[in-house]
Amino acid sequence: MLTCNQASQLISQSLDCPLTLTKRIQLRLHLVICDACRHFKKQVTLLQAALIRLREHTESDPSITLPEAAKNRIRQQLASK
């Protein structure tokens, strides 16, 4: 049986790529018995949907842009890593 930590990792992974059949079954079994992980999965799914809607909104509105100063700060932070 998965621990809650393992289940939450699988929930997060499932957002990026499909899980193997074995992992999907393990996760479903855990979710049947664990309210906390079911709640976590619901919250993560809602957050993902909100981010998709936000991306769609910002991509369709050319007036929404990141200021050049902010872009430069991000570039500097990435370069320093």
Cβ of 63: how many Cβ atoms within 10 Å? 5
Question: In whole angstroms, how close is the CB of 54 to Zn ion at the nearest point?
Answer: 28
| C-beta of 45 vs 65, nearer to Zn ion | 45
* Residues forming the site for Zn ion (CB under 5 A): 4, 7, 34, 37
Structure tokens at 53: 């809607």
Question: In whole angstroms, how close is the CB of 17 to Zn ion at the nearest point?
Answer: 21
Spatial distance between the Cα atoms of 14 and 30, rounded to a whole number of angstroms? 15
How big is the chain, counted in residues?
81
Question: In whole angstroms, how close is the CB of 8 to Zn ion at the nearest point?
Answer: 7
Instruction: Confirm if 10 and 19 have CB atoms less than 8 A apart.
Output: yes
| C-beta of 28 vs 71, nearer to Zn ion | 28
